[in-house]
Amino acid sequence: MKYLNQFFSLKCCGDVLSAVAPITNGAKEITEAMGMRAKLKHIVLADNQDYALIDLCSGNCLVPVLSAFTFPRVFNIAVDLRPRPRQVAGVHRLLYRQQDINLLEIYRKDALIRQPSLDTDPSRLIEVDTHDVVILTAMHACGNLSKHIIDLFLKSCAKHLILCPCCIGKGEGWIYNIAINCSSMDRHEAWCFYLAGMLHEGGVDDTCIIKDTNVLSARNLFIVAHKSSTTASPGNL
């Protein structure tokens, strides 16, 4: 109940709930968002910088709304395929984008200014300020969307990733065999270790998996990754 107690002790908790209502499974979703916020806090309070948080598969937008109310130096962009007729439009430092994340491209504004002929569909584009440190988050991304989010992280100007995967992606049935043959690992743990391996193979050595038992969900593993540099990706041109 730690995260529930923390959430309801926030002065903004009522405003957050009003912005994202209705919530289908309140206790579970609040603890998920607070678990994500706990990992964000270690990043955004570590130094005196401005951040752009891009929350993918944002659902009811609880993660970016909570961030908008509690982290004043973070500009939040919520991305989801479905329209959200909620009150999120009235939340300061928050932008909602109805977008298929499989088609998403992230670029810094200075890159677009220097390359006006860049072959980029504006409808697929998310622009971030030149000096903002970019963070990608995703809570319970389904199936192969977790793999796509990691690919997007590796190719984009994002420096930090916090990903809580959900179900195993299609065509990844071999992961079940790993779990069966490893008595200390279940299927979801095997999936998360595979995804973390993608980050290592992509050159992101600062990657870890955190099991957060304060999240009221059986799938409570968070993959947290930090790039040492983002200068090699197209989004930094």
Which has the minimum average pLDDT: 26-30, 45-49, 72-76, 173-177? 173-177
Please state, in angstroms and rounded to a whole number, the distance separating the CA atoms of residues 56 and 51: 16
**157 contact partners, CB below 8 Å, separation of at least 6:** 106, 107, 108, 128, 134, 230, 233, 235, 236
Please state, in angstroms and rounded to a whole number, the distance separating the CA atoms of residues 85 and 167: 27
Looking at residue 173, its pLDDT comes to 60
Residue 130 CA, distance from chain mean position: 20
Going from the C-alpha of 196 to that of each of 89, 173, 191, the distances in angstroms are 34, 17, 9
pLDDT band with cut points at 50, 70 and 90 for residue 120 = low
Looking at residue 235, its pLDDT comes to 43
pLDDT band with cut points at 50, 70 and 90 for residue 231 = very low
pLDDT, one tens digit per residue, over 145-171 is 999 999 999 999 999 999 999 987 665
Looking at residue 124, its pLDDT comes to 78
Looking at residue 197, its pLDDT comes to 92
Cα–Cα nearest to 215, from 29, 64, 56: 29
Q: Which domain holds residue 26?
A: 2-236
Is pLDDT at 86 greater than 70 in this prediction? no
pLDDT band with cut points at 50, 70 and 90 for residue 123 = confident
Axis-axis angle for helices 145-155, 187-201 (nearest 10)? 20
Looking at residue 230, its pLDDT comes to 59
Whether 133 contacts 40, CB under 8 Å: no
Higher pLDDT, 15 or 176: 15
Looking at residue 234, its pLDDT comes to 43
Q: How many CA atoms lie within 13 A of 14 on its CB side?
A: 1
Q: How many CA atoms lie within 13 A of 121 on its CB side?
A: 6
Mean pLDDT of all residues belonging to the chain: 87
Residue 97 CB neighbour total at 10 angstroms: 15
Looking at residue 162, its pLDDT comes to 98
Longest pairwise C-alpha distance within the chain: 55
The reported pTM is 0.90
Number of domains in the chain: 1
> Per-residue pLDDT averaged across 12-35, rounded?
94
> Per-residue pLDDT averaged across 68-94, rounded?
88
Cα–Cα nearest to 210, from 36, 34, 52, 83: 36
The full length of the chain comes to 237
Domain of 18, CATH number, reads 3.40.50.150
Whether 135 contacts 156, CB under 8 Å: no
Looking at residue 169, its pLDDT comes to 64
Looking at residue 187, its pLDDT comes to 83
> Per-residue pLDDT averaged across 204-231, rounded?
92
Dihedral sign from CA coordinates of 192, 196, 198, 201 = negative
